[in-house]
Structure 1
């Protein structure tokens, strides 16, 4: 009987030690992720409604007054080029109606510029540098925080630690000791103080966990380090792989066809055939880079499973080749579906609603987490959960860390940097170790009492 009690006590101590260790991971990961979760949730929620925002921005150039004969496509392109001397033609967006402005992309002084041309009068109604569009700036901020590669790395690092945050949160949430559903699947609103905020935080987190993990995982192909490594692995085949997603603004320019062309001779047969394909809008018509005799028709729909490409003969308009989404490699199809879901475009308004609710939930989790931290934060120190004297099974933690590090290289790099920071710098700064909670809180209290 005594042996059973001792075994049970040892098991409970080990479980509590693991729980406390993961709580500390959850705490530190949360503190690092707070500013990123807030900014990325807000910018991501805005970008979910890109179609509606695009429609609002283009409204002044819809339902135009038209009369007479519609001008030819090459004349419309000529008007756009004449408005910006020295520019080069890159693409022609197929109009969806006869009374809307034609959008022609030109390369003007090294920048992509969208030129809105009246299809009948050839008057230039509006022009904007592509990267200056509000929704593009939101996208750039969401991916790079407007500071280029450094911002991209920070966003990727925050995403990796957010995965750790969710996984440790799930472990902390897991019901123990026969607890009921209260405080697990629904909050106990009658309780006040820290318990009230703890329930709201935990319950919101469990309902959002799956959606947050999906968002984080579907964002990885866009990231600089993980995405580049993944692309390099794909290049080990017999031929280079042309991905349907990009990793940076520089790649986005290249992917969008920003190379200017001296060709702007869109024949009526070519235009009619491109329109007859009825690809999902918006659809771009541009000269093919590899074959001067061909033109490429490319759907840029955010619902990527609807995308398709076609190559047409520049003179006759005959279809030479068509590539549908279903014909792409399975990896591209899986990631394309994930990207469409991430952007809120895979299954219409419901996808947007789920994305918006997830973003709002993440903002609430951040706020409630800060409240919980503030309520338990001591007058001295950061307030990290105290580590128990008993060290949990090192093999379990080592295995978990190795698996996560292999899957998330930025997490591995950050763990290595943290280890170097603690062993090379913080070990010589006892005050900093006390404040960060890297030593026993009793030492902290003793230091305060004697200091």
Structure 2
């Protein structure tokens, strides 16, 4: 991985020992992170351009000619989609867009358990084709990005990769830091020295590139971890419980964050609402068949409609009109009721986090049971919403996509340069880890920092302890060893 740059003529022994220790931690972090970082960088870049890639790949199904005529109603389009699907297929989602060149999309749950999108021409009702939700390209890329398509095991690996990237960034910046003080020039610190040859040139390229990309890499890690499968879920639950995420009890047609009507306490109000609507407290928004949901509301409970056999269901067009009245007009999903006590759930996940909105609507009366907007979020959830939009390259449009891609591909390039440096210094048939310094440096600040990281991310803490033990058992102490930089 990274090799420390040359030190002053008569360096202090503690400085040499500290730098070599940092180098060892940087090496071990990079050894684990490199292949996963390349996967994250490539898949992240591709997924960042999903809005451009999918309409190009599936143009025959997603794109239609604007006839400048009237569009069919949502209920008529849904009826066309139902007629095109097998009899036992259940409609689960309507995707609403006002772009007149986009087809209407409805998602169905098939008997096999998989989901399928049906695309309809909104002007004449022609069925344009279908597309598997689970097997479409961008879904596969997203699964690779989040968990290598290995389920829970892959999610844990990617979470660990993010955590170890924090160690790699911290130790890398410490090794890059111009220890020579004012005598150091911009070349070799802010610009690579092109006059160098061999491994020294690769080292300069790696060190300088890492310094420029450090802030972007840190942002990617911190904005991505809240979505991770293990730590992210626990953090979301903690933030929700502490009212740092979504505050409980946003009931009613207005932005009300108190009890259900007629109840004296929030807790009593929630139980009353469950009893009134037959709500299953285990049903969360993340369980609904929506393409994407805002982070802040994923762990919130989904209310239920009052089971009324005599009442007719509110039409899909009425739900669209109600959503527009509430300020949700374009590019959102409507999860359809799956049972007599189910609700319509309107979920808007736009590029600007301030426009995020979630509505739960009684399927019989059309009454808004829950209305959650960005203003309902706690401080942590609001920050994560902004981080997510920037992370996905959505907030500033194409400019955001280009910046995210440059950072991602730059991190992939750092992995390549680190690998080349390792090959050039690695002895034959040996790991080539930097030797342990003969003198153990105090490094109290670093030890405290790593301990805090291990506490904040327990899975990371366990692997750090495992690496430390394995290193001491396998390699032992090599006193006085000095590797060539």
TM score, norm. by length of structure 1: 0.82
Give the SS at the match of 1:14.
helix
| Structure 2 partner of 1:101 | 103
Q: Which runs of 5+ in 2 are unaligned?
A: 1-7, 249-282, 292-301
Could you tell me whether the CA contact under 8 Å between 1:117 and 1:125 is conserved in 2?
yes
Aligned residues: 420
Q: Aligned-residue CA RMSD in angstroms?
A: 3.6
1:187 corresponds, among 189, 192, 207, to 192
CA distance in 1, matches of 2:235, 2:461: 16
Aligned to 1:440: 478
1:13 equivalenced with 2:7 (yes/no): no
Q: Where do residues 232-251 of structure 1 align in structure 2 (5 Å cutoff)?
A: 232-234=237-239, 236-237=241-242
Of 84-93 and 336-345, more deviation after overlay is shown by: 84-93
DSSP-derived class of the 2:87 partner: coil
Distance apart, 1:72 and its partner CA: 3.5
Inter-CA distance 367–84: structure 2 relative to 1 (3 Å threshold): same
Pairing of 1:55-94 with structure 2 (within 5 A): 55-60=55-60, 61-64=62-65, 70-82=71-83, 83-94=85-96
| 1:28-47 correspondence runs (5 A) | 28-47=28-47
Question: In the TM superposition, what is the alpha-carbon distance from 1:175 to its structure 2 partner?
Answer: 0.3
Distance 1:9 1:418, change over 3 A: same
Alpha-carbon distance in 2 for matches of 1:367, 1:151: 22
State the SS of the aligned residue for 1:116: strand
Deviation at 1:98, TM superposition (A): 4.9
Cα shift at 1:289 = 7.8
Query: In structure 1, the residue corresponding to 2:115 is in which secondary structure?
Result: strand
Hey, what does 2:152 align to over in structure 1? 149
SS at match of 1:169: helix
- 8 Å contact 2:437–2:479 — kept in the other structure? no
Q: Is the 8 A contact 1:270 1:315 kept in 2?
A: no
> 1:352, CA displacement in angstroms?
0.8
Please tell me whether the aligned partners of residues 270 and 313 of structure 1 are also in contact (alpha carbons under 8 angstroms): no
Q: Which stretch of the first structure deviates more once superposed, 60-69 or 112-121?
A: 60-69
Q: How much has 1:281 moved relative to structure 2?
A: 4.0
Q: SS of 2:34's equivalent?
A: helix
Write the mapping of 1:159-238 to structure 2, written as runs, cut at 5 A.
159-177=162-180, 178-234=183-239, 236-237=241-242
1:229 positional shift: 2.4
Distance 1:370 1:222, change over 3 A: same
TM-score for the superposition, normalised by structure 2: 0.76
From 385, 388, 400, the counterpart of 2:449: 400
Larger helix proportion of the pair? 1
1:285 touches 1:295 (CA, 8 Å); kept in 2? yes
